[in-house]
A and B are shown apart, each in its own frame.
Chain A
Amino acid sequence: MLELSRLSIGFRRPAGLWRREVVPALRGVSLDVRAGEVLAVIGASGAGKSLLAQAVLGLLPANAVLAGAMRFQGAPLDPAMLRGRRIALVPQSIAWLDPLVRAGRQVEWAAGRAGLPAALRQPAATAALARFNLGAAASRRFPHQLSGGMARRAMLAIATLGQADLLVADEPTNGLDPENAARVLGHLRALADAGRGVLVISHDLSAVLPQADRVAILRDGALQETAPATAFRGRGEALASSYARALWQALPESGFHPAEASPC
């Protein structure tokens, strides 16, 4: 569904008075998301995870330099055409919601973007919220009146209302307690089971492992490996890269080993 081949992203910045240099941030990353699967991209902060999402959605800052190829369903990816229609973002924080507009109204906007005629938008919004256990009371609230878990579900309702084939979820479990985190990831899993492709970006390996099919490990802008989620077990013998093994062994439920030379 989505194929990235040797994607590199750098940032142009001035070097001295006249020259400009490009600071590399993502280096030659190749990965694909298939229909019906959850692909998790895992890495420490600064590894370039969010840049991947921004590139797929065409939301990179103006000074970014992009190289390599992005293809979506066999054709070159044009984010501006597909964003919000075929590709949807589940953003990281409620800061992406309009603070002055009630939640239900914002879901209706999404229905409008999805191409529904005005008369059908409100019923569609109500149905989308109901899919994520949000009723009329929640839909009347402003974003700051929603709990973190409810806001996340409202954003899931917005992202899934249209017929987007690919969902990109940026740190969907940040700030959620384990029950709410599992619920949100369960929703994403169900969407993949219904045939969509889901790209989850997270630093929380243990939270995403139960629902992911494959896990791509990013470090300092380079892809270390893409492994099936089932490879994360035992002492990580099935993992190819030493960094993926170190990440796995550092989890409290695995070994809680810190890195030998910790660059964190």
Chain B
Amino acid sequence: MLTARDLHHARGLLAGVSLTLAPGQVVGLAGPSGAGKTTLGRLLAGHLSPEHGTVRLDGAPLPAHGFCPVQLLPQTAELAVNPRWRVGRILEEAHTPGAAARRAFGIRDAWLRRYPHELSGGELQRVVILRSMAPGLRYLIADEISAMLDPLAQAGLWHRLLDHVADRGLGILAISHNAALLRRLGGAVWHLENARLRDATPVPASGRAAGLPLETA
């Protein structure tokens, strides 16, 4: 269980945000530009420390060293890799994905010897996603990971990711402006606005169960 309790950050950008993400749960996070969605994602993944409040994984703080079980996938994969490393080395930064895992994410063997700038944005995004899939991974914070992809690449990426996540029982927080995409992910949708988080899950037409209810602050 990934829990955040009463988060305050950046002088009122977030004021009393609490949430719970369970294993296997897929939740969308929406909200206007500048509402603090990315900041919340960075707090949850331990890239930032909250000015007030706590982020806990199964009741314990996130580890300060080594691989963090909560991984942040940023919007621009180019900025999340060392430009002087070849793709093969980038991929093995945290673990050694086998050939089967590379195939599952559509990563070709020929890419391993290339540098990041020699892949397209969508190709590099898949490398960054597989890199995060180390054995210790529990939760993924996916920050607009498909905004720069065409519709086919976007659908392909999410189907791959959701299959994998279901197999391993990972929790996902998917940050996006695209309301239709968040509905498609099938889980709850939270809305961050005016420093607070509220449940904005659309009423499911098919009767599909929404995620766990949001904790009230």
Interface residues of A (CB under 8 A from B): 42-46, 147, 149, 174, 177-180, 203, 205-206, 246-248, 250-253, 256-259, 262, 264
Asked whether B150 is an interface residue with its Cβ less than 8 Å from the other chain, the reply is yes
Interchain CB contact under 8 A, B159 and A258: yes
Q: Give every chain A residue within 8 A of B148 (Cβ-Cβ).
A: 174, 203
Bound-state Cα–Cα, A258 to B149, Å: 13
User: What are 15 A-B interface contacts by the 8 Å CB criterion?
Assistant: A149-B33, A177-B32, A178-B177, A206-B151, A250-B154, A251-B155, A252-B178, A258-B156, A258-B159, A259-B156, A262-B153, A264-B106, A264-B122, A264-B152, A264-B157
Nearest CB of A to B43, in Å: 21
Decide if the interface of chain A is mainly helix, strand, loop or mixed: loop
Decide if the interface of chain B is mainly helix, strand, loop or mixed: helix
The 3 closest A-B pairs by CB, nearest first: A264-B153, A252-B180, A253-B180
Which residue from chain B places its CB closest to the CB of A202 in the assembled complex?
A: B150
Q: Give every chain A residue within 8 A of B159 (Cβ-Cβ).
A: 258
Bound-state Cα–Cα, A42 to B106, Å: 23
Q: Give every chain B residue within 8 A of A174 (Cβ-Cβ).
A: 148
Known: A177-B177, A259-B156, A262-B106. A250 touches B121 (CB 8 A): no
Q: Give every chain A residue within 8 A of B179 (Cβ-Cβ).
A: 178
Interchain CB contact under 8 A, B152 and A246: yes
Bound-state Cα–Cα, A45 to B33, Å: 25
Nearest CB of B to A219, in Å: 10
Q: Which of A147, A246, A252 contacts B181 (CB 8 A)?
A: A252
Nearest CB of A to B157, in Å: 8
Interchain CB contact under 8 A, A250 and B183: no
Asked whether B206 is an interface residue with its Cβ less than 8 Å from the other chain, the reply is no
Bound-state Cα–Cα, A203 to B32, Å: 22
Interchain CB contact under 8 A, B156 and A262: yes
Nearest CB of A to B147, in Å: 8
Interchain CB contact under 8 A, A203 and B150: yes
Interchain CB contact under 8 A, A247 and B150: yes
Nearest CB of B to A162, in Å: 31
Bound-state Cα–Cα, A180 to B34, Å: 13
Q: Size range of the interface on B?
A: 20 to 34
Interchain CB contact under 8 A, B120 and A45: yes
Mark each residue of chain B from 93 to 106: 1 if its CB lies under 8 Å from any CB of chain A, else 0. 00000000000001
Asked whether B184 is an interface residue with its Cβ less than 8 Å from the other chain, the reply is yes
Within 169-184 of B, Cβ neighbours of A (below 8 Å) are at 177-181, 183-184
Nearest CB of B to A49, in Å: 10
Bound-state Cα–Cα, A46 to B157, Å: 18
Interchain CB contact under 8 A, B150 and A45: yes
Bound-state Cα–Cα, A46 to B180, Å: 26
Q: Give every chain A residue within 8 A of B33 (Cβ-Cβ).
A: 147, 149, 177, 180
Bound-state Cα–Cα, A118 to B181, Å: 50
Q: Which of A149, A178, A251 contacts B151 (CB 8 A)?
A: A251
Interchain CB contact under 8 A, A206 and B180: yes
Nearest CB of B to A79, in Å: 27
Bound-state Cα–Cα, A206 to B179, Å: 12
Q: Which of A45, A149, A250 contacts B155 (CB 8 A)?
A: A250
Nearest CB of B to A210, in Å: 13
Q: Give every chain B residue within 8 A of A44 (Cβ-Cβ).
A: 122, 150, 152-153
Nearest CB of B to A247, in Å: 5
Q: Give every chain A residue within 8 A of B152 (Cβ-Cβ).
A: 44, 246-247, 250, 258-259, 262, 264
Known: A180-B33, A253-B180. A258 touches B155 (CB 8 A): yes
Bound-state Cα–Cα, A206 to B177, Å: 13
Bound-state Cα–Cα, A255 to B177, Å: 18
Q: Give every chain B residue within 8 A of A256 (Cβ-Cβ).
A: 155, 158, 184
Nearest CB of B to A107, in Å: 24
